[in-house]
Structure 1
Amino acid sequence: MKLSVLIPVYNERDTVELLLKRVEAAPYEKEIILVDDASTDGTREILTRLARDHRDQVRLILHPDNRGKGAAIRTAIEHVTGDIVIIQDADLEYDPQDYPKLLEPILDGHADVVFGNRFHGGPHRVLYFWHSVGNRLLTTLCNIVTNLNLSDMEVGYKVFRSEILQRLRLKSNRFGIEPELTVKVAKLECRIYEVPIAYHGRTYAEGKKIGWKDGIAALYYILRFRLFD
């Protein structure tokens, strides 16, 4: 089993090197595909050095302009050669030590897709009340239109059997990638599991990027990809 770790990166100079060390420590044969989405804070230079020093495991793709998380993930998918694919944010909100739990349902032959669950069973940082309300509303709406019973549709940790992910024709450029992935694996009637994960969320002062406008956009994407795509 070969694991492909897709890491979209934008302006994460303070976390990306430590994140890469933690991903490399995961006890699997793996390839690490980093996509820098036109960072401007020195991240790109750090990634260039890391890719040079870890050529056996790391592939770096550089976007010439900022296109968003979804676009970075779509770029990374084009280079996947592994059997299982995990999407890993570069901000240390998600812990690579959770890989064994996330991979277990697929390795056991029970699942095609695994979602992390930030709020049931794993330690998580207590942060914004209205973010949690928005997340529940978006997850509920997504469940209504897909007939799923997910607990955390917007979670960044999503794991796929490679052949499932490569069947999807993804279009989102920004954070709409989360509902798009969810709706499209539901349409394929994939076997979806959830597992509890640790969540070390950040404040906006610490670099959190997703905002209320992305929440409004997610409503549109849920309906668009369920009804019109």
Structure 2
Amino acid sequence: MKTLAVLIPIFNEERTISELVAQLSMLPKGTVDQYVFVDDGSTDSSVMLLNQALTEVNFPHLLLKKENGGKASSVREGAIHLTTSHVVILDSDLELATSDIARLWAVVQDGKSDFVFGYRKFLAHSSFTWRYSRGNQILSNLYGLFFNEVITDIMCGYKLIPTSSLQQLPYKYNKFGIEIEIPMNMWKNHQRAYEVEVSYKARSRAEGKSISVSDAVRVILSMVVFRLSNKRSK
């Protein structure tokens, strides 16, 4: 039986966390079987607001707490506790529409693929900056060059995969490196993603946007090292 979990890393998201829970509660009944929230050492009121919001909804959830270590470490911690066949990773900043979870999950339920990635269209009303959108395009194109595969939006946080794949991930890369480690290991195992367009509303630096040029450089170096040191399975 195919079942779905939503894994949600959280770090200082007091601005959005209550609305996030409210939106998740409005997903079609039966879409999600488990919610796992991972607090990555928040120093604001995120956890208090999350606990308060969770008392007002009725869905199965688990709240984990850990020291700050970045997104990849939060995903790794959350993956240990998953009990479903599949999992989708969702950032807690509301840049991505929670309603798109049902659209990604429909691909799996229809038997099209067990791996589903979201991709964003960077338009005038939905882009952070021109440099950000073009930089993201460059990263996606470099991934295609190195691995000879098309992934439209490599850094999009919406990635739905079998739970076993997430639990077996080596987790060699920190922070936003999780966004490329998942597809790189899929490449290694001859697994390809089905892509679904998702809605996107970028937040500003003042609202907590944290990815930087240095993160992009680390991503590129990680792709180069992985490609040179790994071969595809037979």
What is the TM-score of this pair, normalised by structure 1? Answer: 0.91
Structure 1 stretch displaced more, 123-132 or 154-163: 123-132
Amino acid at match of 1:73: V
Q: Which residue does 2:60 correspond to in 1?
A: 57
Q: Which residue does 1:66 correspond to in 2?
A: 68
In 1, are the aligned partners of 2:5 and 2:84 still within 8 Å (CA)? yes
Amino acid at match of 1:12: E
SS of match in other structure, 2:225:
helix
Pair 1:96-2:74 in alignment: no
Tell me how far 1:2 sits from its aligned partner.
2.2
Whole-angstrom distance in 1 between the partners of 2:62 and 2:125? 31
In 2, are the aligned partners of 1:11 and 1:43 still within 8 Å (CA)? yes
Amino acid at match of 1:208: K
Q: Which residue does 2:128 correspond to in 1?
A: 127
1:82 to 81, 84, 87: 84
Amino acid at match of 2:174: N
Q: Which residue does 1:140 correspond to in 2?
A: 141
SS of match in other structure, 1:90:
coil
Whole-angstrom distance in 2 between the partners of 1:54 and 1:177? 30
In 1, are the aligned partners of 2:25 and 2:59 still within 8 Å (CA)? no
| Mapping 1:68-217, distance limit 5 Å | 68-119=70-121, 125-217=126-218
Paired-residue identity, %:
33
Structure 1: gaps of 5 or more residues: none
Structure 2: gaps of 5 or more residues: none
Tell me how far 1:106 sits from its aligned partner.
1.4
Q: Which residue does 2:20 correspond to in 1?
A: 19
Structure 1 stretch displaced more, 207-216 or 160-169: 160-169
Tell me how far 1:137 sits from its aligned partner.
1.1
Tell me how far 1:173 sits from its aligned partner.
2.5
Tell me how far 1:163 sits from its aligned partner.
2.9
SS of match in other structure, 1:176:
helix
2:48 to 42, 45, 49: 45
In 2, are the aligned partners of 1:184 and 1:225 still within 8 Å (CA)? no
In 2, are the aligned partners of 1:35 and 1:60 still within 8 Å (CA)? yes
RMSD of aligned residue pairs (Cα, Å)? 2.0
- Number of residue pairs matched by the alignment: 227
Tell me how far 1:123 sits from its aligned partner.
9.6
